[in-house]
Structure 1
């Protein structure tokens, strides 16, 4: 289950800080990006309650729809909850709030940047971003010095700087397969492609939490 939302974290001077806002993006916002949203939120709540806000949206969202049943099963199997979800359409307004955008495919990344070119260095596919974090770990990136929010808001630029060290063997290795209207085996493939990236992001957060 998701942990209850903690009170808003504070800065060193005692004033409230704005959560680090992570946005996950796919097409319909009912299969892939909700799984990433709910599992990242669950894990990040355990690292630092209240410090992160993870949401999702779709480039051609089935607005108002719940998460697809097989995606719901994946979420619950990892300890998250699909409750209270409704798909929503990606908009420039939503993007303006994001500190980090994690797309489910290179096509989605391109659509995000088409909507807001200023997000070029804050938008990655989720599998690509996970490889970048591993490259940063190999370089010995230090833990944040008491300011988690500033660390995570600087993180996309640091990740972009090691893109050349995190190239995929094949372009398809950047994408998470779309299982919509397909069988359980494709949902399993989606899980196999998505869950290692989520684990990498959460491990990185725990080690620097």
Structure 2
């Protein structure tokens, strides 16, 4: 079975979504050890293709590196329908990007969230109602799909709130990039903690 796949989406795919991609990958490795990369696939794309093929924006890369992750071998790409189709969870930086994803693939609405919205709704899910946690691909996939469905149910059709959006830090200082990275981690850490059992 394929790993549980999380797709992060922002505008240009050089700042917010790459940070989210690599900070989730880092959290998974910290929670599950080296096997984490086989359990959760974290990747990203942008709604626009202006930066296709570029490296992560340097201030974004600094944030990832300073937190223990790696920005190496990153290459920006434009979001395509097949990326959405293959994802089990889509996390967008803003509500506008949520709308873009759902316009491309209406069937993805129940597995697409603004990142801050997902983080806000996640505590309302009782982990004991999910399939058992284990560090195997099948277990993580099954638990992840159930978790996404539970968060979608908690959303109850309500739109995301303005405070759920991540600010666009492009062209701004390291302090803004650090705040955005903190906000990303405030969602990806709890997500990882629910999805995967801790190392013994």
TM bucket by the smaller chain? Answer: 0.7 to 0.9
Structure index of larger Rg: 1
Q: Aligned equivalents of 1:52 and 1:193: distance in 2?
A: 20
- Report what 2:145 is aligned to: 153
- 1:10 is matched with none
Matches within 5 A, 1:1-209: 17-46=1-30, 47=32, 48-49=35-36, 50-61=38-49, 62-137=51-126, 140-142=128-130, 144=132, 147-164=139-156, 171-207=161-197
Q: Which runs of 4+ in 1 moved over 3 A?
A: 139-143, 164-168, 206-209
Q: 1:203 to 1:94 in 2, by over 3 A?
A: same
- 1:128: Cα distance to partner? 1.0
Identify unmatched segments of 5+ residues in structure 2. Answer: none
SS in 1 for 2:74: coil
TM-score, length of structure 1 as denominator length:
0.82
TM-superposition CA deviations, 1:86-114 (whole Å, max 9, x none): 00000001111111101111111110001
Q: 1: CA distance between counterparts of 2:175 and 2:125?
A: 33
Count of residue pairs the alignment pairs up: 190
Normalized per residue, the structure richer in helix is 2
In 1, Cα distance between the equivalents of 2:156 and 2:115?
Answer: 16
Q: Could you tell me whether the CA contact under 8 Å between 1:143 and 1:208 is conserved in 2?
A: no
RMSD, aligned α-carbons: 2.3
> 1:166 deviation in Å?
9.2
Deviation at residue 67 of structure 1 after TM alignment: 0.5
Quick one: distance in 2 between partners of 1:149 and 1:172? 30
Contact 1:128-1:166 at 8 Å conserved across structures: no
C-alpha separation in 2, matches of 1:204 and 1:162: 16
Specify the alignment match of 1:12 in structure 2.
none
Structure 1 gap ranges (5+)? 1-16
